[in-house]
Amino acid sequence: MHQILFLFEGRRRVKKLVLLVAMLLMVLATAGVSLAQSEDSVSDTELSEAAQDTGADGSTTTAAGEEDLVKALVDNVNAFWESEFALRGYLYSPAGVSFVYDEPVDGVCGPFYPTYGPGYCPLDTTLYYPVDWLYEGRDLADYGEAALGWAVAHELGHHTQQQLDALGIQGWFSIPLEQAELQADCFAGAWARQAGEDFGDGGVEAVLNAMANAGGPGHGTTEQRISSFRLGYDTGDIAQCLAPTETVPAG
């Protein structure tokens, strides 16, 4: 599980200059982006319906069902951050999602393999998700669909950190790697609080159980990850997730 929700170590070694150039291009490209939710995003109700696309044994039975669930989660997390940014007078550019099937996808951050967990690429601002990861023999399936919500929200937390950096607010490239990973867990907790019933089957307890096996190099200990997620979930305040020396304007 320590590989779950991980921008793989090789990709983390992409030259910082390249990442900063990509960030600058992203800021220029998003300067005119509207805060309105895109027409193809899904509502909380649709998110719940996607999560309920289950078979008789209680598990999603098709790749399409899993894709629908992931798309719904990505839209929901994007909508959460769009609202948080708008409250503070900022523009938020939504992350995209790309699915990995039987063969690796050679993205701009390098290859994404179907046997790996979800990963975020900062160079194309896209979440790469391996279809069947949740239900076909992966550890996360044991914890329920809420754990998938945590996975998606954590990876899009890196997308948010990238934009906070571009705005001059503390984010992914401004803090040590381990702290950035823990911050992404805190952001995921803040999202989960507002998601409510749409968070998925099992709720917070499913995530905490999954986190019991999620500590590892570069991500913090199990205790640290649980504490970070709970901080975001208990307060619902993204400012609590930032480093003590940094602040984000109140909503």
Per-residue pLDDT of the chain (251 residues), as tens digits, is 333 333 333 333 333 333 433 443 343 333 333 323 333 434 444 444 444 444 333 443 456 788 998 999 999 999 999 999 999 999 999 999 999 998 999 989 999 998 888 899 999 999 999 987 765 545 566 777 788 889 999 999 999 999 999 998 887 778 899 999 999 999 999 999 988 766 655 678 888 888 877 766 788 888 999 999 999 999 999 999 986 544 454 44
The model's pLDDT over 65-117, given as tens digits with 9 standing for 90+, comes to 889 989 999 999 999 999 999 999 999 999 999 999 989 999 899 999 988 88
Secondary structure string (H, E, C) spanning 49-85? HHHCCCCCCCCCCCHHHHHHHHHHHHHHHHHHHHHHH
Using CA atoms, how far apart are residues 148 and 143, in angstroms rounded to an integer?
Answer: 9
Using CA atoms, how far apart are residues 23 and 32, in angstroms rounded to an integer?
Answer: 15
pTM: 0.72
Angle at 83 between CA 80 and CA 88, to 5 degrees: 130
Q: Which residue in the block uniquely carries the two structure tokens 């571009």?
A: 166
pLDDT score for 195: 85
Token pair of 198, please? 């749409």
Contacts of 17 (CB under 8 A, 6+ apart): none
The model's pLDDT over 43-64, given as tens digits with 9 standing for 90+, comes to 444 444 444 444 333 443 456 7
Q: How many CA atoms lie within 13 A of 122 on its CB side?
A: 31
pLDDT score for 147: 82
Using CA atoms, how far apart are residues 74 and 198, in angstroms rounded to an integer?
Answer: 12
* DSSP assignment letter at 111: E
Residue among 43, 51, 81 at smallest CA distance from 68 = 51
